[in-house]
């Protein structure tokens, strides 16, 4: 299977169902919502899967993309894709392992845009968002987009954060958080 991203660039992907790529419709919608804020931003791609969201961010001019992905097979493909897409002025890092164990390693860094897309039934939403808040990984003017199923979704409540928008795209929903005023 292959994916196409911004600029009609093709990405390699893993065969089978090991990773669930964010659909083109959802990717386009998220980047349209965040248009004008990607160039020069610091992007964090959590549960990166195919790495398509981080790849899009690189194609749209993010200065730094950091991804965390548990699957070593997926990490190999993501690394190859990001190497092909990044230009000399861009930096990227891919961390392999459990997202909750890897997030503390990012303490002291802040990101303008964070995309969280764990397996829908993983139970990771609340603990990952709490870890992001605890380690202060979200820049004060940043936003987090959380991809989830519209069924069985209870918005995690994170102290000091607010939901700024919610969108539904068929079988996929995206909830956006930012720090509260």
Taking only the tens of pLDDT, the chain with its 181 residues reads 444 555 556 766 666 555 667 888 999 999 999 999 999 999 999 999 989 999 999 999 999 999 999 999 999 999 999 998 899 999 999 999 999 999 999 999 999 999 999 999 899 999 999 999 999 999 999 999 999 999 888 889 999 999 999 999 999 999 999 997 6
Q: Can you tell me the distance from the alpha carbon of 101 to that of 93, in angstroms, rounded to the nearest whole number? A: 16
Sign of CA dihedral 53, 48, 118, 162: negative
Q: What is the CA radius of gyration of the chain?
A: 15
In eight-state DSSP terms, residue 106 is G
Q: Can you tell me the distance from the alpha carbon of 165 to that of 61, in angstroms, rounded to the nearest whole number? A: 24
pTM of the model: 0.92
pLDDT of residue 152: 81
Q: Can you tell me the distance from the alpha carbon of 178 to that of 161, in angstroms, rounded to the nearest whole number? A: 5
pLDDT of residue 154: 87
pLDDT of residue 153: 86
Domain that holds residue 12: 2-179
Got the DSSP string for 74-128? HHHHHHHHHHHH--TT-EEEEEES-HHHHGGGGTT--EEEEEE---TTSS-HHHH
pLDDT of residue 1: 44
Cβ atoms of 164 and 178 closer than 8 Å: yes
Q: Can you tell me the distance from the alpha carbon of 32 to that of 120, in angstroms, rounded to the nearest whole number? A: 23
* Calculated CA dihedral for residues 110, 114, 120, 123, nearest 10 degrees: 20
* CATH number of the CATH domain containing 39: 3.40.50.150
pLDDT of residue 11: 67
Joined tokens for residue 130? 């709490």
Domain count, the chain: 1
**Total Cβ atoms within 10 A of residue 168:** 10
């Amino acid at each position: 299977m292959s994916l196409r991203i911004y600029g009609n660039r093709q990405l390699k992907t893993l065969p089978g169902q090991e990773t669930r790529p964010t659909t083109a419709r959802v990717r386009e919608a998220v980047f349209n919502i965040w248009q004008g804020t990607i160039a020069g931003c610091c992007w964090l791609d959590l549960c990166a899967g195919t790495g398509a969201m981080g790849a899009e961010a690189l194609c749209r001019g993010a200065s730094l993309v950091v991804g965390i992905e548990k699957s070593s097979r997926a990490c190999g493909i993501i690394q190859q894709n990001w190497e092909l897409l990044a230009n000399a002025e861009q930096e990227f890092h891919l961390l392999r392992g459990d997202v909750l164990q890897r997030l503390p390693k990012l303490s002291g860094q802040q990101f303008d845009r964070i995309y969280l897309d764990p397996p829908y039934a993983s139970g990771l939403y609340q603990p990952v968002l709490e870890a992001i808040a605890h380690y202060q990984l979200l820049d004060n003017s940043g936003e987090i987009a959380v991809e989830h199923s519209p069924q069985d979704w209870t918005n995690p409540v994170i102290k000091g954060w607010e939901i700024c928008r919610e969108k539904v795209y068929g079988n996929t929903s995206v909830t956006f958080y930012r720090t509260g005023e």
